């Protein structure tokens, strides 16, 4: 249970040699059958790659991409030949972003942005973040960063709100708060990315609501703190929302599942040569109270591990739509230039040895999403738990 595992996409490079045929015309016809490289084709792995690269550089009509771009394309082509959409290559910038997301902590001001219908940038500061301590409130509209008006996708703007934590480092934010324009300098600090959101349900304060957005290094600690906080408020039943949770770290998902399952097997992992059963230690913070789990087609991978254990042991009621159905495990390998590859190395089964890959989990109660209704899945969860409590 110590491996750091996760999951996702791929690319492809094919047919470079054919491009030479069409670009060089009759000249290449004279070369066909007369190899330019006097080397046995099988003398070393991937011996054709330098031949093709040299021919493209010499004969292609238009300038070829830089060598790094060609190298990355070749790597993507190799991985695509596996016919496995979950084994793929990630370039250095995306690798850094993924590392930050899975670590659950970064240097910055601690703001989540959301575009408004009018195209503005609505700010939501994380609890105890530098932004919140500087007076930024949920719903404030971001106008400029260091005097430069904001534009572009939310993720791009959020990257401008991150940086190294050191004396004097930070950004000056211009924003609108309660119809007044303000400007404040916000220093960079260590920001913990929340992946667990908890509250009492207004409809019935006997019920606690816990949403898990992903599984990062910090999710188990956040989850346990949220459970304890709600139990201290005499919560008698729980709704666990895993909708649109695409997964994350397997080890952390196993820890979360262990809070519902008292000392039982949680997952069976099969590699090429071995099979291993992962079980939890006896105990758990949520082994005793009525429970509903909300799922949809965006519930995938590590989140399905949690749902599968709860379903197999009949620990709670599953409500929503069929889950995604990703039953394989990937390991991330860092490469020498700080890029990385995801490689599928195992598949997993539920405690009752059910394979979910391409199958998913059918809910106990299927709710069809209704864009005109206010969260029908949650409404059904409240109704089901009310019946259980009464």
Give which of 356, 365, 240, 276 is closest to 308, Cα–Cα.
Answer: 356
Nearest by Cα to 320 from 387, 351, 366, 383: 366
Q: DSSP assignment, residue 134?
A: T
Residues involved in catalysis: 301, 326
To 5 degrees, how large is the angle CA 266–CA 221–CA 379? 75
Report helix, strand or coil for 119. Answer: coil
Tell me, rounded to whole angstroms, the distance of Cα 119 from its chain centroid.
26
CA-based nearest residue to 95, from 343, 342, 346, 328: 342
Residue/partner pairs of 16-23 with CB below 8 Å, 24 or more apart: 16/52, 16/55, 16/56, 17/52, 17/55, 19/56, 19/60, 20/55, 20/56, 20/59, 20/60, 23/59, 23/60, 23/61
Tokens of 330: 């990937």
57 with 64: CB under 8 angstroms? yes
């Amino acid at each position: 249970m110590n491996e750091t595992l996760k999951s996702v996409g791929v690319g492809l490079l094919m047919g470079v040699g054919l491009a030479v045929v069409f670009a060089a015309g009759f000249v290449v016809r004279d070369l066909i059958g007369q190899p330019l490289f006097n080397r046995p084709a099988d003398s070393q792995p991937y011996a054709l790659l330098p031949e093709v690269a040299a021919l493209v550089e010499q004969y292609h009509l238009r300038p070829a991409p830089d060598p790094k771009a060609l190298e990355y394309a070749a790597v993507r082509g190799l991985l695509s030949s596996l016919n496995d959409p979950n084994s793929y290559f990630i370039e250095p910038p995306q690798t850094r972003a993924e590392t930050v997301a899975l670590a659950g902590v970064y240097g910055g001001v601690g703001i989540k942005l959301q575009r408004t219908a009018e195209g503005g940038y609505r700010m939501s500061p994380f609890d105890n973040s530098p932004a919140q301590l500087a007076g930024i409130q949920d719903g404030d509209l971001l106008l400029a960063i260091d005097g430069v008006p904001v534009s572009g996708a939310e993720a791009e703007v959020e990257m401008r709100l991150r940086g190294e934590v050191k004396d004097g480092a930070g950004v000056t934010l211009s924003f609108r708060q309660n119809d007044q324009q303000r400007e404040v300098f916000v220093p960079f600090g260590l920001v913990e990315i929340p992946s667990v959101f908890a509250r009492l349900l207004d409809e019935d304060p006997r019920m606690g609501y816990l949403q898990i957005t992903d599984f990062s290094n910090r999710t188990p600690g956040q989850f346990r703190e949220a459970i304890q906080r709600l139990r201290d408020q005499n919560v008698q039943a729980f709704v666990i929302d895993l909708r649109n949770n695409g997964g994350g770290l397997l080890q952390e998902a196993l820890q979360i599942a262990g809070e519902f399952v008292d000392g039982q097997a949680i997952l069976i992992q099969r590699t090429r040569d071995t099979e291993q059963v992962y079980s939890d230690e006896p105990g758990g913070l949520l082994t005793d109270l009525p429970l509903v789990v909300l799922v949809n087609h965006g519930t995938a991978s590590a989140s399905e591990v949690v749902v599968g254990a709860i379903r197999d042991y009949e620990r709670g009621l599953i409500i929503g739509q069929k889950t995604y159905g990703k039953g394989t495990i990937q390991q991330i390998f860092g490469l020498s230039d700080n890029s990385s590859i995801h490689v599928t190395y195992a598949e997993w089964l539920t405690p009752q040895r059910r394979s979910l890959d391409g199958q998913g989990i059918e809910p106990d109660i299927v709710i069809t999403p209704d864009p005109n209704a206010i969260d029908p899945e949650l409404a059904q969860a409240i109704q089901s738990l009310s019946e259980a409590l009464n």
